[in-house]
Amino acid sequence: MVVTGKGGRMKIAAILVLLLAAVSRPAWAVDQVRVLALFPDKAMLDIDGKRRVLKAGQTSPEGVQLLSATASEAVVSWQGERRTLHPGGGIRANYAKAQRREVRIVRDNRGSYTTSGTINGQPVDFLVDTGASGVAMSVEQARALGIAFQLEGTPTPVGTAGGTVDGYRVTLDRVRIGELELTDVGGVVIDAQTNHHVLLGMTFLNRLEITQNRNIMVLRSPGGRTNPC
């Protein structure tokens, strides 16, 4: 059918406006994602009221990608971040607009900045070290945290104050201090004796804003974007 005349042109223009609005709608316009059901490598999600069944690696029309799924949790990529969801749980867009979170660490009498935190949910004591490239720990500390560095890590030589030693590069699922939690943080397991603290290096620190005022170091989430707690 051919539409002619002024009225026809107005209808065509209106249709084009609607099409452009639909195409230009960004993926981050999604307001809510909820888990309805979980299966091995598959999940049923509710995305703004639309039911989507995704296999691991698939992306919904709304821009939500399922990275992995088990019977207990689904890991999705949304708004450029990795999020872990559990049955009955969900996430909302207003997490990305949350107030900026920060942690304040007071320098101790040895001139060091130490703080408690967790790696993959396990408690650790951290020593903030801007000279360390990653989150560094000993073999004993890694084993205590349940990190399968020999199976999942990459062998690599590591330079230390005492010389070069054997090590393994690993990816830590979650590293947290206070209200700041980051996912997929690069770490290294060193086959050598270390002190009581795990070194909190730049693979964690360079994703935050760092300021120092006298004896206080402040770590802050950039632009208010941080993983929901």
What tens digit of pLDDT does each residue of 7-23 get?
555 555 554 444 444 44
Higher pLDDT among residues 21 and 200, named by residue: 200
**Strands 216-220 and 102-106, sheet pairing:** antiparallel
Tell me which CATH homologous superfamily contains domain 102-224: Acid Proteases (2.40.70.10)
> Which amino acid is it at 182?
L
Query: Angle at CA 198, nearest 5°, toward 193 and 201?
Result: 115
What tens digit of pLDDT does each residue of 26-81 get?
444 667 888 888 899 999 999 888 899 999 999 998 888 999 999 888 998 877 67
Within the chain, where are the H helices? 5-24, 139-144, 149-152, 202-205
- We find that the CATH architecture of domain 27-97 is Roll (2.30)
Q: pTM value?
A: 0.55
What does the domain layout of the chain look like in residue ranges? 27-97, 102-224
Residue 228 has pLDDT above 50, yes or no: no
Average pLDDT over residues 127-133: 91
